[in-house]
Amino acid sequence: MPHVIPPLLMAAAVLFSTVARAATLTAEMVDAQGKPLKDAVLTLKGTAGQPDLAPMADMDQRDQRFAPHVLAVRTGTQIRFPNSDNIRHQVYSFSPAKRFELRLYGGTPSDPVLFDRPGVVVLGCNIHDWMLGYIYVTDDPWFGVSNDKGTLTLDNMPAGRYVATLWHPQAFNGQPVPGGEIDIPAAGLHRRFSIAVQPKDDDMPASPPPSAFGDAFHKAAQE
């Protein structure tokens, strides 16, 4: 008589096997001189598995800045645009990946905005010319944005081979660049990625000049 494995034990075995194969990628994002890059986007496309993704995300406005400065989301994500300032903003974008406008408002608009096409979306405010933000929309299932130290971590990734794509707001042409192929073992991986970026002017004011949105939009419109 064949031995029958109880369903509960079978489910536990599958769960243990899945957890055992989950790997962590720690990415170090740097410029051509090896200096850490904040707000760099890394996306990965592989053949195995899909992460659980929240259907919603937030792009806040605090201290007359977009927060975060760079937000990465999966295609099909709905994004809310809360205004945490005590003044009103008017958010808009003319980027090909998403054209929209949120009329002058305070608080949080009742309806989120659906980002249903991949690409770089440049955000501006009609009231405050220096406000500049980015939403990176990707079809790739794995992605992240580097922190102040230029690092990001992707957890619970199936071991295997992935194709990487890189992007940064200061990239020379404003568009994503290939990051090569990487093999992530079950034990995890620490990997450095380099992106060529335009140097910042040390004399640049804390707030971007009024032309910043136009320059960023021009780059995004070239995709």
Residues 144-157: tens digit of each pLDDT: 999 999 999 999 99
For residues 41 and 26, give the distance between their C-alpha atoms in angstroms, rounded to a whole number: 13
Instruction: Please name the residues in contact with 61: beta carbons below 8 A apart, sequence gap of 6 or more.
Output: 67, 81, 82, 83, 84, 85, 89, 91, 125, 131
What pLDDT is attached to residue 221?
Answer: 44
What pLDDT is attached to residue 3?
Answer: 52
What pLDDT is attached to residue 201?
Answer: 54
Q: Provide the token pair at 28.
A: 């170090």
> In this structure, what DSSP letter does residue 8 have?
H
Q: Give φ, ψ of 14 to 5 degrees.
A: -65, -45
Strand order through the sheet with 70-74: 70-74, 132-138, 119-125, 89-95, 98-105
What pLDDT is attached to residue 17?
Answer: 40
For the chain, which residues score pLDDT lower than 50? Answer: 7-20, 202-211, 217-218, 220-223
Residue 4, strand partner residues: none
What pLDDT is attached to residue 164?
Answer: 98
| Beta carbons within 10 angstroms of residue 170's beta carbon | 16
Q: Are 58 and 194 in contact (CB under 8 A)?
A: no
Q: Are 188 and 24 in contact (CB under 8 A)?
A: yes
CATH superfamily of 24-220: Cupredoxins -  blue copper proteins (2.60.40.420)
Question: What are the b/e assignments for 30-57, b being 16+ CB within 10 Å?
Answer: bbeeeeebbbbbbbbebeeeeeeeeeeb
